[in-house]
Amino acid sequence: MTQVDAEALFVHDGSEKRGPLTVERFEHLREQGEIDESCSYWYDGMAQWRPVTCFVPPCDQPSSQR
């Protein structure tokens, strides 16, 4: 698997992009409700933005999906 920068997550809520974020910060913002189910996320190596509800941390992403 390829190592992805720990601060490489970006989140888009439909009008604004946030980031880069660490995985820990991303998960904290989700717990606080600042990132909700309507948001999408992306990090380097992903082909496209994906729904937050399908979040897979960079280190857990199968190499075939990078």
Over the stretch 28-63, which tens digit does the pLDDT of each residue have? 999 999 999 999 999 988 899 999 999 877 765 454
* pLDDT tens profile 17-29: 999 999 899 999 9
Residue 1: pLDDT above 60? no
Count up the domains in the chain and report the number.
Answer: 1
Residue 11: pLDDT above 80? yes
* Distance from the Cα of residue 17 to its chain's centroid: 11
Q: Is residue 42 part of a domain?
A: yes
Q: Is residue 4 part of a domain?
A: no
Q: Is residue 34 part of a domain?
A: yes
Q: Is residue 1 part of a domain?
A: no
Joined tokens for residue 64: 């075939």
Q: Is residue 45 part of a domain?
A: yes
Domain that holds residue 15: 9-55
Q: What is the 3-state secondary structure (H, E, C) of 13-51?
A: CCCCEEEEECHHHHHHHHHCCCCCCCCEEECCCCCCCEE
pLDDT of residue 5: 58
Residues 54 and 40: beta-carbon distance below 8 Å: no
The pTM of the full predicted model, rounded to 2 decimals, is 0.74
Give phi and psi for 51, each to the nearest 5: -65, 140
